[in-house]
Amino acid sequence: MSTWKEMEEIVPMNDEEPVNETLAYYNENADSYYDRTVSSDMNEQYDFFLKYLPSGVRLLDFGCGSGRDTKYFMDKGFLVTAIDGSEAMCKKAESYTGLNVRQMDFLELNDREIYSGIWASASLLHLKKKDLTRMFAKLRKALTKDGILYVSFRKGAFEGMRNGRYYTDLTEGELFNLVNTVGGMKIVQAKEFKEQREDEEIVWICAIIKKW
């Protein structure tokens, strides 16, 4: 018969705990995260996304973080809406861009056919894998007809807490299966980008997904 201590050890983590811990990380480390990311060179990824979009259309920066990408798109003449889950990061992004940033849980997105493009750069990877199908369906609904969704995930099979945040890594096959499961959209191009950090090399799977 299991003791109470043994039973406690096998109780799975509450569904809200990974989300709360991840948000707490960004709220507590907003200044250092901003300083570390606001000047990152994303030009190759921007070009990968924007070549599929007409100029000046409405975009959603979904998980805007420091506001780096929001400001880039605004400076290029796009109409940008920015969303982030962390209150502290929203404030940093507002200060950097001059734009009002919506704070919300990603899964609360209920916009309908508003955006010609959605930029979800290294943001959806903080959701649990079991929630990704629902999230992708919501993003599809938020796109206009023929709208473009950009997503990026770390390449791999890991799911769990990493450096204070919850991560879901994906393989390219898993990403294709996810999009096929949601339906009504297709991957038109997938590409790997390598990022060299001081202590590791990260391989990112980035994809352009078109609503139809």
Mean pLDDT calculated for residue range 39-63:
97
Residues near 174 by beta carbon (within 8 Å), at least 6 away in sequence: none
Instruction: Tell me the domains of the chain and their CATH numbers.
Output: 4-211 (3.40.50.150)
Query: To which residue do tokens 């770390």 refer?
Result: 154
The confidence band for 50, taking pLDDT boundaries of 50, 70 and 90, is very high
Given a contact cutoff of 8 angstroms between Cβ atoms, the answer to whether 96 and 37 are in contact is no
The C-alpha atoms of residue 108 and residue 82 are separated, in whole angstroms, by 14
Mean pLDDT calculated for residue range 109-119:
98
Task: Please report, rounded to a whole number, the percentage of residues in the chain having pLDDT higher than 90.
Answer: 87
Q: Which two tokens mark 191? A: 């590409």
The C-alpha atoms of residue 76 and residue 59 are separated, in whole angstroms, by 12
The confidence band for 5, taking pLDDT boundaries of 50, 70 and 90, is very low
Q: Which two tokens mark 28? A: 């507590």
Q: Which two tokens mark 99? A: 């734009």
β-pair type (201-211, 143-154): antiparallel
Mean pLDDT calculated for residue range 23-29:
98
Mean pLDDT calculated for residue range 152-160:
96
The C-alpha atoms of residue 164 and residue 160 are separated, in whole angstroms, by 10
Mean pLDDT calculated for residue range 98-102:
98
Mean pLDDT calculated for residue range 146-172:
96
Cα-based distances in Å from 92 to 39, 46, 65, 129, 186? 14, 21, 8, 28, 34
pLDDT tens across 53-74, in order?
999 999 999 999 999 999 999 9
pLDDT at position 11 is: 33
Q: Which two tokens mark 139? A: 């993003």
The confidence band for 15, taking pLDDT boundaries of 50, 70 and 90, is low
pLDDT at position 14 is: 54
Res 123 pLDDT > 90: yes
Mean pLDDT calculated for residue range 112-127:
98
Res 185 pLDDT > 60: yes
The C-alpha atoms of residue 80 and residue 192 are separated, in whole angstroms, by 26
The mean of the pLDDT values for the chain is 92
The beta-strand segments (E) located in the chain are 58-62, 79-84, 101-103, 115-120, 143-154, 159-162, 165-168, 185-196, 201-211
